[in-house]
Amino acid sequence: MAPNPSATRKPLKLLMLHGYTQSGPLFHAKSRALIKHIQKAFPHHEVAAIYPTGPRRLNPSDIPGYEPSTDTHEQADAIEAYGWWQRSNTADPPLYQGLDDGLAAVAHVLADEGPFDGVIGFSQGAALAAMVAALLEGEGGGSGAGAGTAAPGVPFPSSFSPAALLHPPLKFALCYSGFRAPGARYRAFYEDPPIQTPVLHVLGSLDAVVEEARSRSLIDACVGDPEKDGRVVWHPGGHFLPSQRPYLDAAVRFIREQVERGDSGNDFKPKNEEEDVRDMDVPF
């Protein structure tokens, strides 16, 4: 019997985290070009992309610019829009309501579907991807979050405790239109030390949804000098995943560098289209 080619290929498993008002299936459609490009670039790997959906189902009133019809109940039932958390502006700085539930949902996928090699996130999902990468660094990274700091920041999420989740650090993260969570309460994800996991930041020069300053705050939270190291890529568009060849190639080059680094045993170890309203990330 001829051997199964897929049985001899190394796994390359990607965790795909959608943006606010999206869902796993919608992000699957939005990132199809990227995943196909990765699969083509890694013929000796069995590439698997897993698309969970955030636990917070959103109401019409939660969606920026949404205008329901006169039949409100029908519209509410038809909406398939989700988030990993919701931003509350009544707190200063803003509070991420439901963040623990969002992290717990990801931890469940990591436990059931893992181990994962890397994470790819868009907007709110990119912000979450950076947090997840930091949490999985354990004692070697992820700052006070890894140390269980409770005040003035948030406590270490129980869903990521060693007793609840055993998962190695990620080899890489790709953050499309990512940003840093605001205020001191989330500082533990980003400081003392900064995020150690290699992160590629892909940003739109015309992004009117995520302010450049917020994306740069996430860049600054990563170890080293990401811009000098070529880990910041700008595309001449807005708030979406670019599907043009140069930006797909940039993602593949970055992933290949980290995968080869990991396979060689040198990876660190812990001590142009506009989005429709459902794809926008405003209240984060």
- Report the candidate in 124, 118, 56 with the shortest Cα–Cα distance to residue 275: 124
Band (77; pLDDT cuts 50, 70, 90): low
Q: Is the peptide bond prior to 193 cis by the omega test (within 30 degrees of 0)?
A: yes
Distance CA 239, CA 121 (A): 13
Rounded (10°) angle between helices 245-263 and 32-41:
50
Q: Round to whole Å and give the CA distance between 21 and 56.
A: 9
CATH classification of 5-279 is 3.30.420.60, yes or no? no
The reported pLDDT for the residue numbered 273 is 44
pTM assigned to the model: 0.87
> What's the whole-number mean pLDDT along residues 84-112?
94
| Catalytic member of 31, 117, 159, 207 | 207
Among 239, 243, 267, 279, the one annotated catalytic:
239
For residues 143 and 154, what is the distance between their CA atoms, to the nearest angstrom? 12
Whether omega before 94 lies within 30 degrees of 0, making that bond cis, reads: no
Token pair of 104 as six digits? 């717990």
**Rg (alpha carbons) of the chain, rounded to whole number:** 18
For residue 223, is pLDDT > 50?
Answer: yes
23, 123, 143, 177: the active-site residue: 123
71 is catalytic: no
Q: What is the pLDDT of residues 169-207, one digit of tens each?
A: 999 999 999 999 999 999 999 998 899 999 999 999 999
**pLDDT classification of 93: cutoffs 50, 70, 90:** confident
* Residue length of the chain: 284
239 is catalytic: yes
Go through 15-33 and write b for each residue having 16 or more CB atoms within 10 A of its CB, e for each that does not: bbbbbbbbbbebbbebbee
Element (H, E) at 261: helix 245-263
Kindly indicate the confidence band of residue 65, based on its pLDDT and cuts at 50, 70 and 90. confident
Q: Any idea where the domains of the chain sit in the sequence?
A: 5-279
C-alpha 210/C-alpha 205 separation (Å) is: 10
Average pLDDT, the chain: 86
Taking alpha carbons only, the member of 47, 93, 83, 58 closest to residue 214 is 93
Q: Angle 156-158-161 (CA atoms, 0-180°, nearest 5)?
A: 85
- Is 123 an active-site residue? yes
- Rounded Cα distance, 239 and 269, in Å: 34
